């Protein structure tokens, strides 16, 4: 039992309005806890509060009653006896007349009325007394917003929990609700009010009951809220959206069919409003209410609804695109805004609800018939005026929508309009479907009436959509008794023949894109009807495929026709397998799939190779069985071309092979990953590549093509990465065998801690740049396998491979460095199985990489093989620090160390600190060996070698950037969350202090370069948190990177970071402090000649700065305008557009 004095203190604290809200809340929680724990009873609490509940001081009394009410709210799950509840509800009911303490009374009533049956509830007689008191004492609209909201909640609670008692109030209830709603504007209150109307209707369901005579008066208050106009959003209304209010009002409108005489006329009236929002809402409400009111009540409004829908569609179309594309179009390509979309949805709903009535209205409509009567004049799309196109589009969309609603609607549309279209096209509907031997020459020079062609194809497409949607009812709809079925069966052979012949001759004639689009679409639709509905003869189906494939093979110079034909073939391929059309499926494989495979395996076609690959990948993706055949053909083509290149030295095949590999990587592998279950295909591809490698090992041809190598590596990585551990184990064994027997670098199959790669008598300073192209190819492919392996995959001779990779790294083989980083990363994955499976632990790998001394260095600084006298041993770290006189070795070592460090960084290993320290030492070294000493001739493949310090600076890009070629989740790397943030926060302060201390201009520029890499790759939120300190570094980085054209991508990345700071409130202080320097930097970048995106982004940054406080930027206005005036003459349109926007913003600063 709590002491009386302690309880009194908390009571006083709550009722004292001078106390902080936090203290009052704590006192309330304390008192509620006492009662919940049975340390204080309700009776004792009320006695202790007697003074606060009855005092004449209005403020104290209001606080006391509210305290009791809030305590009861917190006791919702605590059982209370009936006598206590009766006493409490009586008290709060009486207090409903005390307007100064009303809020507590409302909260108390709600707390008691909402209680569940298992904890004690208010009796029905007490609830009725509450309802009566509500009616007599609560002038809702004269209260404050919060009190009104509580009043609505109380009324809603009474209606939901005590409907019979509330209903007994009769007309008084209706008056109370009407008075409460009348004039309400608060969003929270309105949602409750609309729901109250919905609940009220449920209490009086009888259509001839008391609600019937009151509906008009009630709707008078509801109707004034339509449409919802809710634009002045306050902070307290942030949780209420306009859509919430609109849906609540719509539910109230549709809650009873008694509202129909009032709702439908209102909605139809608002549909003619000039406000788009009113039109959209009217259509949505009509759609929703129609389903609730029923067909009988809606029938009397049918004609008015139809006319309104027709006008809404016709008047809401926007100008179409100037040309047709291969993308699917709605009708003639007019853009349909939300009004037209909602109107079509409503048309579909009312037609389904009362098809006979609306079909009669539509079929007999004067405007629609006028379009059909004038269709003969629409010979070509180009000659149809804009208004005519709009009318044609609207009619097509309307008739297609109702065609898709039901089979009855489809039949009615076809029998009413299809014969007319066939007559205009001069095609007979009476031909037997079995007599399909038609004279194609009769159509070869024929030009179809475009209007009839468009509507005919749209009708066929709509009918097909209906049939495919109702596929499960095949036995019902798949008979010749259906009018549409009979008409299509009769006309399909002629239409197919006509479309095929005219498309085949289109190469010799000038044909509108619109004609081509709808003819190809027509063929696609007619070829993909289910056989139970439309029997397409075998010869006809073959004719369709031949025509489309002919376009693929011959008309590749006609972009639209070619793309449309390819898409049609893909759709047909998807259909024949999906619909179990076994005969058609075999025909498709024979005429399309096998012919497509021959595109890449044979050179007897004139089709450009990129288009061949597009056709191969798209048609393969139509069905898995098609893809399996396509992949096999691609694989054979890739292996054959690689053999031509590496065995026979046929470099002419290199470009084609690169495209084949890129297609395999970008299209085939991604499709296989999405589809799943085809791992065997990728496994077979990888093994085929390694078989090719083994066949090439005895060849004397030395082929060096970086593009080909990169494409092969990427395909290898993606394929291996998608394989399982079991498959990867076999792949690595296969690759290891090819590696150990195929490279010329001395390499032992097994190694221990005391042995290493033997480079006896090898003078590295002379031989380093003579890395055999075949060795590079095999080693890089093997590195690709290692990069993509899963953490638990077994690596044969792991220690020996690590030594080999280190040697290759020093020779400049970047994939070897990336493989080392990947190995280290995956060895660092917590698993007891990894060390066992690889034969090498992380610690042993680190020992080999960082502490093994693989080379000797002589007194003159020349690096030599092991076993040389008068020399000291060095390892990778020493090479990185410049122990060798050959600076190219140091550059390679720095790059390799960076990739190894990245692998460590991703797992959060402590050794990354040592790697960073080594790179920083290189970054601070004096540039004693300049580019002049690395002149042309030292390395055949380069004209100018980067300096050691530049490589060290760029190492931070490797460490911080996201790589697509290794150490990512796609290749199963272990990535610790927030690793970038941790590395940035550790290294950036060090770089900043080094910049301050540095006296060398070269060192400073390289430190700024390294900092730029860190900043451009760090998450923006990290930059914003320290923007003031970083701004100077960022701006200096922009200046340095803008000096070299090779740095344009890095410059753009850093500029994007600046853009993020400028557009975020958190960076405003840093921007204001450096406004002048910022303007100087950005105005220089506006003239950056090497990259349009840099100029465009710089102008966008200046535009963002125009929103800064006027006193800070006005002095800089002249400088900005001078730069922007020059940008108005930029050769790129995007830059000029941004310049105009920026100019307008800055000139408006007065």
pTM recorded for the entire structure = 0.78
Tell me which residue of 211, 207, 230 sits closest to 219, measured CA to CA. 211
Average pLDDT of the chain is 84
What pLDDT band is residue 820 in, cutting at 50, 70 and 90?
A: very high
Alpha carbon distance 110, 976 (integer Å): 51
**Residue of 665, 600, 666, 658 whose CA lies nearest to 629:** 600
Q: Are 642 and 694 in contact (CB under 8 A)?
A: no
* Stated length of the chain: 1150
CA 911 to CA 842: how far, in whole Å? 11
SS3 readout for 193-223: HHHHHHHHHHHCCCCCCHHHHHHHHHHHHHH
Under a CB-based contact definition with an 8 Å cutoff, are residues 490 and 538 in contact?
A: no
Task: At 911, give phi and psi (nearest 5°).
Answer: -65, -15
**Residue in the structure block whose two tokens are 């009533």:** 109
> What is the C-alpha to C-alpha distance for residues 1029 and 1016, in angstroms, rounded to an integer?
15
Express each pLDDT in 896-930 by its tens digit: 999 999 999 999 999 899 899 989 888 886 544 44
Query: Per the structure block, which two tokens stand in for 669?
Result: 């592998």
Helix intervals (H) in 621-678: 624-646, 654-663, 670-675
Q: Determine the Cα–Cα distance for residues 309 and 345; give it in Å rounded to an integer.
A: 10
Give the H or E element holding residue 318: strand 317-318
Do the Cβ atoms of 463 and 457 come closer than 8 Å?
no
Nearest to 729 by CA among 643, 833, 805: 833
pLDDT tens track for 778-793: 899 999 999 999 999 9
Q: Is 98 helix (H, G, I), strand (E, B) or coil?
A: coil
Q: Which two tokens stand for residue 886?
A: 């050959």
Written as one string, the DSSP assignment of 31-62 is HHHHHHTTSS-HHHHHHHTHHHHH-S-HHHHH
Tens-digit pLDDT profile for residues 374-391:
888 888 888 888 888 889
Question: What single DSSP character describes residue 78?
Answer: S
Bridge pairing between strands 335-336 and 855-858: unpaired
Residue-wise pLDDT for 853-877, tens only, equals 766 665 554 555 554 445 567 777 7
632 or 754: which carries more pLDDT confidence?
A: 632
Whether the pLDDT of residue 287 is over 90: the answer is yes
CA distance 790 to 822: 10
What pLDDT was estimated at residue 1068? 87
For the stretch 216-231, pLDDT in tens is 888 888 989 899 887 6
Quick one: which of 736, 748, 746 has its CA closest to 779?
736
State pLDDT tens for residues 314-331: 888 877 666 677 777 778
The whole-number average pLDDT for the span 557-583 is: 84
Return phi, psi of residue 132, to 5°.
Answer: -65, -45
Q: Is the distance from CB of 515 to CB of 448 less than 8 angstroms?
A: yes
Q: Exposed, middle or buried by CB within 10 Å (0-12, 13-18, 19+), for 249?
A: buried
- Checking if the pLDDT of 13 tops 70, the result is yes
Buried b (16+ CB within 10 A) or exposed e, 963-984: eeebbbeebbbbeeeebbeebb
Q: In whole angstroms, what is the distance from residue 520 CA to residue 498 CA?
A: 11
What are the pLDDT digits (tens) for 1085-1112?
999 999 999 999 999 999 999 888 888 8
102 closest CA partner among 177, 154, 166, 50: 154
| Distance between CA atoms of residues 210 and 53, nearest Å | 41
């Amino acid at each position: 039992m709590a002491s009386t004095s302690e309880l009194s203190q908390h009571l006083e604290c709550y009722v004292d309005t001078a106390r902080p809200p936090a203290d009052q809340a704590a006192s309330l929680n304390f008192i509620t806890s006492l009662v919940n724990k049975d340390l204080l009873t309700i009776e004792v609490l009320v006695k202790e509060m007697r003074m606060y509940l009855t005092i004449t001081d209005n403020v104290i009394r209001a606080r006391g009653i509210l305290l009791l009410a809030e305590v009861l709210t917190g006791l919702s799950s605590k059982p209370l006896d009936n006598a206590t509840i009766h006493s409490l509800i009586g008290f709060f009911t009486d207090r409903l007349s005390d307007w100064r303490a009303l809020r507590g009374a409302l909260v108390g009533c709600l707390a008691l009325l909402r209680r569940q049956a298992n904890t004690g509830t208010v009796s029905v007689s007490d609830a009725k007394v509450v309802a009566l008191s509500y009616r007599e004492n609560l002038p809702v609209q004269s209260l404050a917003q919060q009190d009104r909201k509580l009043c609505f909640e109380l009324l809603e609670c009474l209606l939901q929990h005590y409907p019979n008692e509330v209903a007994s109030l009769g007309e008084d209830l209706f008056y109370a609700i009407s008075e409460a709603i009348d004039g309400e504007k608060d969003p929270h209150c309105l949602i409750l009010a609309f729901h109250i109307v919905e609940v009220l209707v449920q209490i009086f369901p009888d259509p001839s009951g008391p609600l019937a005579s009151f509906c008009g008066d009630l709707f008078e208050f509801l109707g004034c809220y339509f449409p919802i106009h809710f634009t002045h959003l306050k902070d307290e209304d942030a949780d209420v959206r306009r859509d919430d209010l609109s849906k609540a009002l719509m539910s109230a409108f549709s809650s009873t069919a008694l509202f129909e005489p009032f709702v439908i006329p209102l909605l139809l009236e608002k549909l003619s409003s000039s406000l788009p929002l009113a039109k959209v809402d009217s259509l949505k409400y009509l759609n929703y209410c129609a389903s609730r009111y029923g067909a009988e009540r809606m029938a009397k409004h049918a004609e008015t609804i139809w006319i309104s829908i027709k006008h809404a569609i016709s008047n809401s179309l926007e100008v179409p695109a100037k040309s047709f594309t291969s993308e699917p179009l709605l009708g003639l390509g007019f853009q349909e805004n939300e009004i037209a979309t909602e109107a079509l949805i409503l048309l579909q709903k009312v037609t389904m609800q009362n098809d006979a009535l609306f079909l009669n209205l539509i079929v007999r409509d004067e405007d629609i018939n006028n379009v059909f009567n004038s269709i003969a004049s629409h010979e070509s799309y180009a000659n149809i005026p804009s208004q005519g196109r709009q009318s044609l589009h609207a009619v097509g969309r309307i008739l297609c929508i109702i065609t898709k609603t039901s089979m009855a609607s489809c039949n009615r549309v076809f029998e009413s309009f299809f014969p007319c279209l066939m007559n205009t096209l001069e095609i007979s509907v009476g031909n037997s479907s079995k007599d399909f031997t038609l004279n194609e020459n009769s159509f070869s020079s024929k030009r179809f009436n475009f209007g009839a062609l468009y509507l005919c194809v749209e009708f066929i497409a709509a009918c097909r959509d209906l049939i495919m949607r109702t596929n499960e009812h095949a036995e019902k709809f798949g008979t010749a008794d259906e009018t549409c079925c009979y008409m299509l069966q009769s006309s399909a052979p002629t239409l197919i023949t006509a479309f095929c012949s005219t498309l085949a001759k289109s190469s010799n004639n000038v044909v509108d894109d619109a004609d081509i689009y709808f003819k190809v679409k027509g063929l696609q639709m007619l070829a993909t009807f289910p056989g139970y509905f439309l029997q397409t003869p075998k010869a006809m189906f073959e004719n369709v495929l031949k025509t489309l494939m002919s376009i693929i093979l011959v008309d590749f110079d006609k972009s639209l026709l070619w793309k449309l034909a390819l898409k049609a073939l893909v759709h047909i391929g998807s259909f024949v397998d999906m619909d179990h059309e076994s005969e058609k499926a075999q025909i498709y494989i024979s005429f399309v799939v096998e012919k497509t495979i021959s595109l890449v395996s044979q050179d007897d076609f004139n089709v450009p190779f990129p288009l061949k690959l597009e056709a191969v990948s798209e048609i393969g993706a139509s069905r898995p069985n098609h893809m399996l055949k396509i992949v096999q053909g691609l694989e054979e083509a890739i292996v054959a071309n690689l053999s031509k290149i590496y065995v026979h030295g046929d470099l002419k095949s290199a470009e084609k092979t690169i495209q084949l590999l890129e297609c395999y990587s970008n299209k085939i592998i991604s499709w296989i990953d999405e589809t799943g279950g085809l791992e065997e295909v990728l496994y077979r591809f990888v093994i085929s590549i390694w078989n090719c490698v083994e066949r090439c090992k005895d060849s004397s041809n030395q082929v060096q093509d970086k593009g080909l190598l990169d494409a092969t590596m990427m395909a290898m990585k993606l394929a291996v990465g998608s394989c399982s551990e079991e498959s990867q184990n076999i792949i690595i064994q296969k690759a290891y065998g090819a590696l150990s027997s195929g490279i010329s670098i001395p390499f032992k199959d097994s190694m221990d801690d005391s042995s290493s790669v033997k480079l006896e008598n090898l003078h590295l300073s002379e031989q380093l740049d003579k890395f055999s192209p075949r060795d590079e190819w095999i080693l890089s492919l093997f590195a690709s396998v290692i990069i993509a392996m899963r953490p638990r995959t077994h690596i044969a001779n792991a220690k020996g491979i690590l030594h080999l990779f280190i040697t290759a790294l020093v020779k400049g083989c970047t994939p070897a460095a990336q493989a080392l980083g990947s190995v280290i990363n995956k060895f660092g994955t917590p698993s007891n199985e990894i060390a066992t499976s690889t034969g090498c632990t992380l610690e042993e790998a680190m020992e080999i990489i960082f502490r093994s001394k693989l080379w000797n260095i002589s007194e003159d600084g020349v690096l030599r093989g092991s076993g040389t006298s008068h020399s000291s041993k060095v390892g990778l770290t020493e090479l990185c620090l410049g122990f060798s006189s050959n600076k190219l070795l140091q550059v390679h070592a720095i790059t390799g160390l960076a990739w190894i460090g990245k692998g460590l960084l991703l797992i959060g290993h402590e050794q990354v600190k040592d790697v960073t320290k080594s790179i920083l030492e290189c970054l601070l070294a004096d540039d004693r060996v300049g580019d002049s000493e690395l002149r042309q001739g030292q390395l055949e493949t380069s004209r100018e070698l980067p300096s050691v310090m530049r490589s060290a600076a760029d190492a931070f890009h490797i460490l911080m950037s996201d790589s697509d070629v290794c150490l990512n989740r796609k290749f199963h790397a272990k990535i610790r969350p927030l690793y970038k943030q941790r590395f940035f926060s550790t290294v950036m302060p060090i770089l900043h202090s080094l910049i301050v201390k540095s006296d060398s201009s070269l060192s400073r520029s390289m430190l700024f370069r390294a900092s730029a890499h860190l900043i451009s790759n760090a998450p923006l939120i990290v930059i914003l948190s320290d923007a003031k300190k970083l701004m100077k570094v960022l701006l200096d980085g922009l200046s340095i990177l803008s000096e070299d054209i090779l740095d344009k991508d890095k410059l753009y990345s850093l500029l994007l970071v600046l853009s993020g700071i400028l557009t975020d409130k958190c960076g405003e202080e840093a921007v204001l402090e450096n406004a002048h320097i910022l303007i100087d930097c950005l105005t220089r970048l506006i003239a950056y000649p090497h990259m349009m995106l840099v100029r465009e982004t710089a102008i966008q940054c200046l535009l963002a700065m125009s929103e800064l406080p006027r006193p800070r930027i006005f002095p800089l206005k002249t400088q900005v305008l001078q730069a922007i005036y020059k940008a108005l003459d930029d050769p790129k349109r995007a830059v000029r557009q941004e310049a105009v926007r920026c100019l307008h913003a800055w000139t408006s600063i007065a």
